[in-house]
Structure 1
Amino acid sequence: MPTSPHPSGGPAASDDYAAVARLYDPLTGPLLAPLRRRLTRRAVERGAASAADLCCGTGRQLMLLHAAGLRAAGVDRSPAMLTRARRQCPPGVELVAGDATATPWPDAAFDLCSIGFALHERPRATGLGLLAEARRLLAPGGAVLVLDYRPPRGAAGRLGHLAVGAIERAAGAEHHDHYRHWLTGGGLRPLARETGLACTLADSFLLGAVGLYVLTPA
């Protein structure tokens, strides 16, 4: 289930999402909409007044956060996805083209950071960089909310990943390899622990194949 992170150092040689940006929301929107709404609800319940969405893609999560009353900002390195985001996000949403592991915002700039389905699709070092940047951006008492895949647990979890695996395979061999390594490596928890973040599963979806996690400085 690709997003559009490109969160690696240096300028992007090409835009991996140029061909799919126009179709991304129609194809993934119905599936992701309830997950994004749940993340937004968690943000509101935490009393967050501001949020940064790292690897924001077409801006759908930002739109929900903004509509809920948060000061919302997003960063992505895909020009095609950011073009879509700029067309549909309200003027009050800040959009930045750049590296999500090295954003231009100062330390402690946001009450909350969100990362939706970006960690599983990149190398481990990039995932650590994303979490480290999210932690840097957190104001005291803040949290990182992450939507991403959970390692399969039981028959229901394996069934959920049958459908998910087909989507990831359709995204290409490299993408599917990252997805498999993410699951066999334990998913989010090992990366969170290495970044000094306590990791709590808040909600699960798709028969347990997807989790909404709350990460706070340990």
Structure 2
Amino acid sequence: MDVSIPINQPENKPKNWNKIIISLKSPKNIITLIVMLIICITGAALVLILLDWIKLGDTKKAFWVEIFSQILNGIFTALSLLSFHTRIIPFIIILQLLFKSKNNDYIKKQKSIKKYANWYNEQYDSLSFLLLVYVMWILNILSQASLTTLMWGFSSYDKNGIIVFSMITPKPRSIMLVFISLGIALSSSMFASGLIGYKLYKKNQLQKLKNSESSINI
């Protein structure tokens, strides 16, 4: 039996390029792409200037470091504010469910979590796992708030750790504060994403196992 595929016959698998085009039709995805491009371009420009790979002179260097750093700070501030409710509300719901007995209200609240976490499946994901993920995200929000507050507090053309707002830091502080906040923000986000990715992987494996068992039984 000839099972070869004719050369001119189109493949049934959708092309990756078509998937990308379809995803870009969503306004949310377009905005996300634009924001990511701005972050990448601005961040790259800032690093190149700070490392003196782009020669501008002291005055122009200070000016563009200020411009690019505040653009990035503004974006991260906006992202923190926009994502705040998507972290806090599910976190509060999870705490309520941990101390609630299972009833109609419990199931209703459980389903409401899916509005903020479409990956969540109550059949696979325990509340303790969900709580751990959202604790990481709350930690991420707090560290981002700390980071953006410190950055907005720096005086213009001054990134050496001296804070303008005396009520925040009455004495000059090391730039290490910024690096600590940044490290916590990145690590907590990566840890939460890793937990979700692992769970999704395990669910896919279980689903494949069930499908293979059902096909064998047939």
Please tell me whether Structure 1 or Structure 2 has the larger radius of gyration of its CA atoms: 2
- Answer whether TM exceeds 0.5 for this pair: no
TM-score range, shorter chain: under 0.3
The structure with the greater share of residues assigned to strand is: 1
Give the TM-score taking structure 1 as reference length.
0.26
Give the TM-score taking structure 2 as reference length.
0.26
